[in-house]
Chain A
Amino acid sequence: MTDDSALVRRALEGDRKAFEMIVRKYQQPLVNYLGRMTGERESALDFAQDVFVKAYASLGTYRPSFKFSTWLFKIASNHLIDHWRKKKLPEVSLDRPFPDDEDREGLQVEDRGPSVARRYELAELRARVEEALGRLPRAFRELFVLRHVGEFSYEEIAEIKRLPVGTVKNRVFQAKEMLRRELEAPR
């Protein structure tokens, strides 16, 4: 497969086909991420278009020393934040320190008894996970989605969100615990 940096260089030289290849390569992961963040397919598709248009306009600022996917998802993440700010929806800031960020003992969880996951068939578990994801605070949901749906490394997420790697690991774990609690809650 053609290297992203080479595609970007060709796009900057006016080769629109090269940018279309970038779009085709990243459309699915980007829409997955935006879909899980917004909970609406149509919004996710609209936002994904906006993100690609923004990326095209800013292509000259991309530095090949960074991964293109990281750069693209940073644009997407900022786009979502801008959208939520405009809609004045409350959000949990990732810049705010959490008391247990560095307190590893705080990561202990209570004994929940019988397994949550094994109570359901996989298909039902997926449906419930999908539903429960929408109830997580956005800031936690985003890190969780980047890690477990987007399959970014912790280091890449730290780069996208400009957070320390340890903080990202901790919050992804917290997000998963929140998700488990949501799954346990009676519907």
Chain B
Amino acid sequence: MSCPRPDRMDLYLEGELDGRERAEFESHLRTCPGCRLELDDRRLLDLAVSTLPPVEVPDGFAAAVMARLPGARRSGVGRLLASLAGAGAVLGALLGYYLATGRGLAGFLGASWRAGAYLFGLVVRLAATGFEALRVLVALVGDLGPALVHGFGILPPLLKAEIAGAGLVFGLTAVGLAVFGVRKIGALGGRI
């Protein structure tokens, strides 16, 4: 066997040669002082590289990493409960709309779309309705029983589709967050 190529010497030192090639190489080494010298040289360099001092990691490193992590991940049960709550809100809104108006899914979706498109107006109107209800409650505080019944009685006709639409938006948002997670949605497009 002629002198092996240097890359084979490195692979020999790394234990990467197969049995036959290794045996041939070792047989050659016994008769070739030049290759023995070269191999020792390479072994020394490998030793220097493999014993380089570690880059010091400070004691608080792991704690610093943990402090940078976003809040605790929700457990599987937590996700399930949140999903059920979200789905419940959607179904509740659908049922409420049906009971209040007697109209079906198409009407419900139309109302939801309108409610979503005019979200800002909805918030203002809801606030105004709330204040109105509060005013009624305060005005009728002297006659608590009948007044309370009257006060709550005026709310459903005023809200109807808006409540149903808000329920749908809230429910879908809750389901999305529960299923995909805030972090995963935030990390979309991020390279790993």
Q: Which of B7, B61, B73, B187 contacts A173 (CB 8 A)?
A: B7
Contact A49 B184 (CB under 8 A): no
Which residues of A are found within 8 Å of B42, using beta-carbon distances?
117
A13 close to chain B: CB less than 8 A = yes
* Shortest distance between the CB of B32 and any CB in chain A (Å): 14
A158 close to chain B: CB less than 8 A = no
Distance of A151 Cα from B42 Cα, bound (Å): 17
Contact B66 A58 (CB under 8 A): no
Chain B proximity mask over A143-157: 1 for CB below 8 Å, otherwise 0: 000001101001000
> Which of B44-52, B94-102, B142-150 is the interface stretch?
B44-52
Contact B49 A149 (CB under 8 A): yes
Contact A14 B75 (CB under 8 A): yes
Distance of A169 Cα from B50 Cα, bound (Å): 17
Task: State the majority secondary structure of interface residues on A.
Answer: helix
Contact B44 A32 (CB under 8 A): no
Which residues of B are found within 8 Å of A115, using beta-carbon distances?
37, 40-41, 44
Chain B proximity mask over A25-43: 1 for CB below 8 Å, otherwise 0: 0011001101110000100
A7 close to chain B: CB less than 8 A = no
Contact B191 A82 (CB under 8 A): yes
Chain A proximity mask over B41-78: 1 for CB below 8 Å, otherwise 0: 11011111111111111100110111011101111101
Contact A107 B62 (CB under 8 A): no
Contact A117 B6 (CB under 8 A): no
A68 close to chain B: CB less than 8 A = no
* Shortest distance between the CB of A174 and any CB in chain B (Å): 9
Which residues of B are found within 8 Å of A154, using beta-carbon distances?
16
Task: State the majority secondary structure of interface residues on B.
Answer: helix
Which residues between 102 and 132 of chain A lie within 8 Å of chain B, taking CB atoms?
104, 107-109, 115-118, 122, 125-126, 129-130
B20 close to chain A: CB less than 8 A = no
Contact B44 A57 (CB under 8 A): no
Which residues between 26 and 76 of chain A lie within 8 Å of chain B, taking CB atoms?
27-28, 31-32, 34-36, 41, 44-45, 48-49, 52-58, 60-61, 74-75
A91 close to chain B: CB less than 8 A = no
Contact B72 A49 (CB under 8 A): no
* Shortest distance between the CB of B184 and any CB in chain A (Å): 7
Which residues between 62 and 114 of chain B lie within 8 Å of chain A, taking CB atoms?
62, 64-66, 68-70, 72-76, 78
* Shortest distance between the CB of A131 and any CB in chain B (Å): 11
Which residues of B are found within 8 Å of A45, using beta-carbon distances?
57-58, 61
A19 close to chain B: CB less than 8 A = yes
Which residues of A are found within 8 Å of B68, using beta-carbon distances?
49, 53
Which residues of A are found within 8 Å of B190, using beta-carbon distances?
54, 57-58
8 sampled A-B residue pairs with Cβ under 8 A: A24-B62, A48-B57, A57-B183, A58-B190, A107-B7, A148-B46, A154-B16, A170-B7
List A residues at the B interface (Cβ < 8 Å).
Answer: 11-14, 16, 19-20, 23-24, 27-28, 31-32, 34-36, 41, 44-45, 48-49, 52-58, 60-61, 74-75, 78, 82, 104, 107-109, 115-118, 122, 125-126, 129-130, 148-149, 151, 154, 169-170, 173, 176-177, 179-180, 183
